[in-house]
Amino acid sequence: MVPNRRYAMAMLAIVFAAPTFAQAPTSVPGPNEATLADAYIYLLGRALVIRQEHMDRKAPGFAYNTIHYNPLGSADFVNPNFDVAYLEAWFAVDDRTPVILEVPEVKDRYYTVQILDEWGEVIVNINERTFPSKPFGKFALVKPGWNGALPEDLSRIELHSSKAKMLARIELKGDPDGAVKLQRQFQAAPLGTPMIAQPPAMRMFGNKELLGVEIFDDVEQTLASALDVSPNAAEMQQQVRSVAAYVASGDEARTAVDAQLRKIIPEFQEYAFTKSAPYRNHWIGGSTTGNYGKDYKLRTVVNFAGIWANTTDEAVYFVATRDADENPLTGNNSYVMHFPADRLPQSAVDGYWSVILVGVPDYRVVPNPLNRFNFDTYSNLTTEAVGSLKIGIGPKPVAGVPESNWLPSPEGKPFSLTFRTYVPKDIVKGGQWQPAAVTLVR
């Protein structure tokens, strides 16, 4: 008994002498600039979608699982598309409750039903190209792992989380009344009453003044709010957590991160429009969008500059913020885009093309007396005798360009152009075609 007693007393002495985990000193190392930049840009991608959900929820009559039939010429998000009739919806499902989406038959015009997850990744496009066996009809949108029974006429589409955004487009094609009629035939309804989580709380912010160090507050709530399907999501989220832990370690750490972000954020904003994709003919674009793999940086750029981008087979996007002399585009000047007869926009697409002018830095349309914000395949544009096309851009009609081809710009203010190619041909996807350079009229 004595040896056992001595052993027990010795063990007790060790236990009481050893520091506990709670007593051990802790120190959280600060991130270097590259680590912080990567963590910030990764997390910003989710924050931009959360911002959009909050904005959408403020719209009159908003409800989850209810389709909003956008009036023609309206869309309250960056870089809208005025060549189509839009439908929008936020779908919300739970472990017991799918949502039924009904898509009408659409003939002889472009359409797609694009469904995206809460990080901006495309889950699916429903149309005759991607769903040739069922381009229309009834579809059941279900939460991952849902194993309930469905009627035979419903086709199952598994979401990435409990929420998804739908952005459907129906080409106007010179027949806006027909497009609106089709638009109204889309229907959605839940099979029950799902439990719907509120989006994470977040201070609203603009594209000029992005979130700062506060983006690293409550990161667990942000990360848990939606599954990220990116192959490197786990490693990036651990990086975010390490920065968040440092930020939470004290005022000094928080101040240090805030100071670093004052450099990182403007560098990201500049990168988005100069280096995030191939830069050809003074246009940036042509990257693989919609599904990003490990390229979370491009995903964040897209959510920042033109949220809800589609997959490359559906659309290839180009953005111009500078003219052919590499000077920023501004309403102080007039410009011309000159397309040779053998490089016309229509020759590059199997669907349609469009170009839209938006303000900087919000990337939303700029009011003008003509309510003319874009041109597209069906615009009444005048070609030259040799078959080439000139588009004039400026605060007033541009000399040498028919007024029908004039795209008004905001006088004295910066602007950006977004060029879309829908169902682009291989020359576009392969980088052999870009829009004409925006050339200053001297």
Provide mean pLDDT across the span 176-204: 96
Rounded CA-CA distance 374/407 in Å is 7
pTM over 0.85: no
Query: Looking at residue 416, what is its pLDDT?
Result: 94
Q: Provide φ and ψ at 335, rounded to 5°.
A: -135, 165
Quote the percentage of the chain above a pLDDT of 90: 81
Which segments of the chain belong to CATH 2.60.40.1610? 65-190
- Residues β-bridged to residue 139: 101, 155
Rounded CA-CA distance 216/247 in Å is 7
Provide mean pLDDT across the span 363-369: 83
Q: Is 430 helix (H, G, I), strand (E, B) or coil?
A: coil
Residue 10 has pLDDT above 50, yes or no: no
- Strands (E) across 117-237 are located at 122-126, 137-142, 154-158, 163-171, 187-190
Query: Looking at residue 321, what is its pLDDT?
Result: 93
Query: Looking at residue 90, what is its pLDDT?
Result: 98
Pick the CATH number of 65-190 from 3.30.360.10, 3.40.50.300, 2.60.40.1610, 3.90.228.20: 2.60.40.1610
- Domain 279-440 -> CATH class: mainly beta
Rounded CA-CA distance 262/280 in Å is 30
User: Tens of pLDDT along 129-185?
Assistant: 999 999 999 999 999 999 999 999 999 999 999 999 999 999 998 899 999 999 999
Query: Looking at residue 192, what is its pLDDT?
Result: 95
Q: How far is CA 92 from CA 136, 142, 197, in A?
A: 21, 9, 8
Give the sign of the dihedral formed by CA 177, CA 182, CA 183, CA 185. Answer: positive
For 226-257, b where at least 16 C-beta lie within 10 A, e where not — what string? bbbebeebeebbebbebbbbbbeeeeebbebb
User: Tens of pLDDT along 83-130?
Assistant: 889 999 999 999 999 999 999 999 999 999 999 999 999 999 999 999
Query: Looking at residue 76, what is its pLDDT?
Result: 52
Rounded CA-CA distance 178/183 in Å is 9
Which segments of the chain belong to CATH 2.60.120.600? 279-440
**What number of other Cβ atoms are within 10 A of residue 389's Cβ?**
20
What are the structure tokens assigned to 196, written together? 């719907």
SS3 of 211-224: CCHHHHCCHHHHHH
What are the structure tokens assigned to 437, written together? 């350079």
Could you tell me where the DSSP H helices lie in 184-232?
219-224
Residue pointed to by tokens 């041109």: 375
Query: Looking at residue 378, what is its pLDDT?
Result: 87
